[in-house]
Structures are given as structure tokens and as C-alpha cells.
A and B are shown apart, each in its own frame.
Chain A
Amino acid sequence: MRQVAIRTGVVEAPFLDIDPYALDVLNDPYPFHEALREKGPVARIAPHGVYAVGRHDESAIVLGDHNRFTAAGGIGIQDIRKPGEFRIPNRLLENDPPSHTAIRGTLTKILSPIVIRRWREHFEKEAVALARQLVERGTFDGVADVAETYVLKVFPEAVGIELPRDNVLAISEMRFNQSGPQNELYHRAMAKAQPYLDWFENSTRRDSVRRGSLAEMLFEAEDRGEFDEGIASNMVRTFVGGGTDSTITGIGHALHLLARNPEQWALLKADPARVKTAFEEAIRLETPFQVTYRTTRDREVELSGVRLDPDTKIGVFLGAANRDPRKWSDPSRFDVTRDTTGVHLGFGVGAHNCIGQMIARLEAEAILKAIVTVADTLELDGEPRLRPINQMRQLDYLPLRIGKA
């Protein structure tokens, strides 16, 4: 083990005795976030023994510095390299440079900005068609009838995989609970996903993807030796996990925040191009992926004057960083004119920042713009409901009413 001199004056991380995965905390994480940020630059979560950061600066450091913090231990609370917690790593997310760089490079080529820009016209057309139906209906569920319907229509078509709604939602719920501790949510989601596990396994095989699609290009890259064997299938899983729930969730939060803040809706009506910053602001304020993990390297490391044990998980609470008053003025306010793009951590930062972020933006902008253009008003039509998930902050039900003047 490499010896590293630790500066004098470094301190141990203070303990914080709150379980971030308790149901009441998942339903209202903001008091926990504040406690975490105010405890210090890094704290130790007593119920789980892991470190955690909730300030913007330290969050960006942990995500950005793979010399101190490795992604190979997995993005959940478990160290997936340890006996009993072992699972096959996601070769994109749970991997460090330089091995990560090569895989990401090949994937970037397949999902390049040039490819994604070509989708715009079609995505916008589908969005307008859906928005017109919504106006006809007047009342609807912003989650099932808008976010899920739209994303599960355009995204699978664009990448060439089939994603039946019940299957993909059950699998996502399993995966994003699995990255938390083995609590009731975890076990319930695992049980709920059981009927779909065979489908999931098969859906990422070569013969399940559409001929000539982007997904097939992954397998062709593997044929050419650009990926090791098995990576293509592993990457198709990433499409399922990374490309559906996260975007669905972000669109849901944006609709919810717009319905709750009529003056912000009015700003969008006046200038629909603001849907871009509105979406970024929504995922700053209600960050879909609330937490992601790294692991300290196998030596003591220091972070902002705090000494950290080797080989220990550290949770980066993105939702907390995105409301850190050290970074944002009036952080709890939804302000569609605030330009937070590339500064909020909703898409992560550094080598592992979201590879599909331009797809997510394209989808969100298309559907929000279509709704803002065809509807004059957007209001809540009842009380929304959250769907508690260990890693995510996600709406389950969002009753909305839209009207034409």
C-alpha cells in the first residue's frame, strides 16, 4: 500500500445519525440534506458506516477525482467487489479511466451529437401529437400519460430496443432500489421485478435489438474488437437503466414545478425557448438521481481537511449539492430564468457525467415546448404522489389539468 503523508490539522469525519433511506427521509430529503451540508465538508452516515458529501464543491471533487475516489466499487451503497455484495459491474459507470475512456469513446461515437441532432424533428413531431391529445383530454396524469408515454415512445425507437412499459418500470425500480441498502423498498422492488428478469436478460441480447439500430452498432463494435466480449450487452442494459426512468422523472418534476408556479409557467408562455433552462432548473431543484457513490482508494485520502479511511464508500448526495446555499442564491426557489446548465450536478460531472444528457434534454425540451405551445394554462388537478425509491426522487402520480383560453 502506498504511504501518503497526511497533513497535520486534518480531522475525522463527524457522524450524522440519520438514515437517508428511511421512508420519511426519502419522502422529504431536504432536512437531511441541510444537516449533511452543515455537519461539515464530509460526514459519516452512522446507520450505514459510509461517508457522505452534500456540499456542491466537495461533491464535484469526489465525482471528478478518480485518483482519490474510484467508481469500480459501484455506484450504490454496497461495494460490489466484496463477497456477499458482488455483482457484475456496469462497464461504463463502474470503471475508471483509462479502461473507462476507451469504452466511453466507442459509445460516444455511436451516440454522438450528430446522431442525436438528427432525431430532433421526429421527437418534436411526436411531442406535438401527444400535446394535442392532452389538450383534448383536459385532465391527465403527468407521469403515466406524459413522461412515461413520451419517453417510452421515442427513446426505444431511436436506439432500437423494445421496452414494454410494465417491464421497464419494474426493472428500473429494482435497479434503483438495489443501489441502496437492503431495506423494505429493496426487497419489495426485487420481488416485483421477478416476473420480468428473464425478459431483461433476453432484451439485451443481440438477437433482441432491431436490425440496423444504434443498439446493433454496439454489437458490431464488439465484432470489430472495439469492445471486449460482453460489453455490448452490458451497454444495452445501460440504455434501459440510464435512458428511461431518469428522463421520465426529470420531465415529471418539470411539469410539477410549472404547475405549482404559475408565474414561471407565464415566463415560458412568453418565451417557449426558456423550456431549456426550465428543465435544467427542475432537475437542479428535484434531482432525479439523488445519490451516487464512489469508494476511497486503498490508502488514506484527505478531502477538504478531513481524513478518510481507505476502501470506504462515499455517497455524493447530488440533490443536496444542487440546493447548497454556498453555490445557489435562494436555492429552494424554482426560477426558469436561472441558467444552471453544466453547474448543477443532476447529470453528474467529470469522466462519468451522463453520456445521454443531450438525449434527455432533447426529449424534455420537445415535450415541454409542445405543451407550452398548445396549452394556455397548466394546473394541478389533485395531490401528486411520490414513488419512494432508494436512489431516486421520482413522482408516481401527477394529476394535471391544462386548458386553452
Chain B
Amino acid sequence: MPKVTFINPDESRVELDVPVGQSLMRAATAAGIDGIVGDCGGGLTCATCHVLVQEEFLPDTPPVTPNEDQMLDFTAMGRHPTSRLSCQLVMTEALDGLVVRIADPQL
């Protein structure tokens, strides 16, 4: 199963097995990673599952839709060039080894 590493705001790292087809937000909240809030459950209405994607993985991530693009502007930490909402990052084999930094704050 593909693996994803989440870097917490305190720099600690958590590695998770994420099944293909599952979003990083679901994987993180199910694993109790507190930094990913995911208040709306993936509906693109809350902007609380914000992550920064390690640059070399960016080309393998799905394109940003207009809705995600807009919600990224409303993240609490503010938007960075590598910002994504982790509810929109659905796991694929190509993303095996992905590293994301959890944005802080989310709320």
C-alpha cells in the first residue's frame, strides 16, 4: 500500500499507509492526526485540511479545481505556492512516498 508522510507543525513525522482511492484528509483524520481538521468532510467548504506538498511530488498530484483554488485563499495559515487541500489529494500508486507538511493554524 502506498505510504504518505505527514510532517506535524512540531516537526514530528507520521507515516501512514493510505489505500489507493482514499483522500489524505480521510487517512489523516482516521489516524487521529490532529493537525488535519477536515471540518466539512471533503465538501470544499471549510479549508481546514490544508497541507504543503513537497515540491518533487507536485507534478503527480491531481490538478487544482476552481473550487479548491478558491478555498485555498481562505485557509487560516494563508496560501503558499505548494498549498493543497488534502481532501482533494486522492491516493494513487504514483504518489507512493509522498511527503506533506501540515499547515498551522487550520482554524
Bound pair: A and B?
yes
A→B interface (CB under 8 Å): 101, 105, 108-109, 112-114, 117, 280, 339-343, 347, 349, 351, 353-355, 357-358, 361
Which of chain B's residues has its CB closest to A350's CB? Answer: B43
The 3 lowest CB-CB distance pairs between A and B, nearest first, are A342-B41, A341-B41, A342-B42
Residues of B contacting A108 with CB < 8 Å? 70-71
Of B40, B67, B71, B107, the residue contacting A342 (CB under 8 A) is B40
* Residue-wise interface mask of B (15-32) relative to A, using a CB-CB cutoff of 8 A (1 in contact, 0 not): 000000000000001000
Is B14 in the interface zone, CB < 8 Å from A?
no
| A105 pairs with B74, CB closer than 8 A | no
Of B40, B47, B71, the residue contacting A357 (CB under 8 A) is B40
B64 CB, min distance to chain A CBs, angstroms = 14
Cα distance, A361 to B66, chains bound together (Å): 24
Contact of A358 with B40 at beta-carbon distance under 8 Å, contacts A101-B66, A108-B70, A113-B48 already known:
yes
A339 CB, min distance to chain B CBs, angstroms = 8
Residues of B contacting A355 with CB < 8 Å? 45
Which of chain A's residues has its CB closest to B23's CB? Answer: A342
| B45 pairs with A117, CB closer than 8 A | no
**Which one of B38, B42, B71, B74 has the greatest number of beta carbons of chain A within 10 Å?**
B74
Contact of A353 with B43 at beta-carbon distance under 8 Å, contacts A113-B48, A114-B76, A117-B107 already known:
yes
Cα distance, A206 to B43, chains bound together (Å): 31
Is B55 in the interface zone, CB < 8 Å from A?
no
B→A interface (CB under 8 Å): 29, 38-48, 66-67, 70-71, 73-74, 76, 87, 107
Which of chain B's residues has its CB closest to A357's CB? Answer: B45
B66 CB, min distance to chain A CBs, angstroms = 6
- Beyond the given pairs A113-B48, A349-B43, A355-B45, 17 more chain A to chain B contacts, judged by CB atoms under 8 angstroms and listed by A's residue number, are A108-B71, A113-B47, A113-B71, A114-B76, A117-B76, A341-B39, A342-B38, A342-B41, A343-B41, A351-B67, A353-B43, A353-B44, A354-B43, A354-B45, A357-B40, A357-B43, A358-B45
Residues of B contacting A361 with CB < 8 Å? 39-40
Which of chain B's residues has its CB closest to A98's CB? Answer: B66
Residues of B contacting A353 with CB < 8 Å? 43-45
| A347 pairs with B71, CB closer than 8 A | no
A120 CB, min distance to chain B CBs, angstroms = 9
Contact of A109 with B45 at beta-carbon distance under 8 Å, contacts A341-B40, A342-B40 already known:
no
A-B contacts, 29 listed (Cβ < 8 Å): A101-B67, A105-B70, A108-B70, A112-B73, A113-B45, A113-B46, A113-B47, A113-B48, A113-B74, A117-B76, A117-B107, A280-B41, A339-B29, A340-B41, A341-B38, A341-B40, A341-B41, A342-B40, A342-B41, A342-B42, A342-B87, A343-B41, A349-B43, A353-B43, A354-B45, A358-B39, A358-B40, A358-B45, A358-B46
Cα distance, A358 to B73, chains bound together (Å): 16
B42 CB, min distance to chain A CBs, angstroms = 4
B69 CB, min distance to chain A CBs, angstroms = 9
B53 CB, min distance to chain A CBs, angstroms = 21
B102 CB, min distance to chain A CBs, angstroms = 17
Residues of A contacting B47 with CB < 8 Å? 113
Residues of A contacting B87 with CB < 8 Å? 342
Residues of A contacting B40 with CB < 8 Å? 341-342, 357-358, 361
| B43 pairs with A347, CB closer than 8 A | yes
Residues of B contacting A117 with CB < 8 Å? 76, 107
A284 CB, min distance to chain B CBs, angstroms = 11
Residues of A contacting B76 with CB < 8 Å? 114, 117
Contact of A112 with B42 at beta-carbon distance under 8 Å, contacts A105-B66, A117-B107 already known:
no
Cα distance, A243 to B107, chains bound together (Å): 22
**Which one of A113, A341, A347, A349 has the greatest number of beta carbons of chain B within 10 Å?**
A113
Residues of A contacting B39 with CB < 8 Å? 341, 358, 361
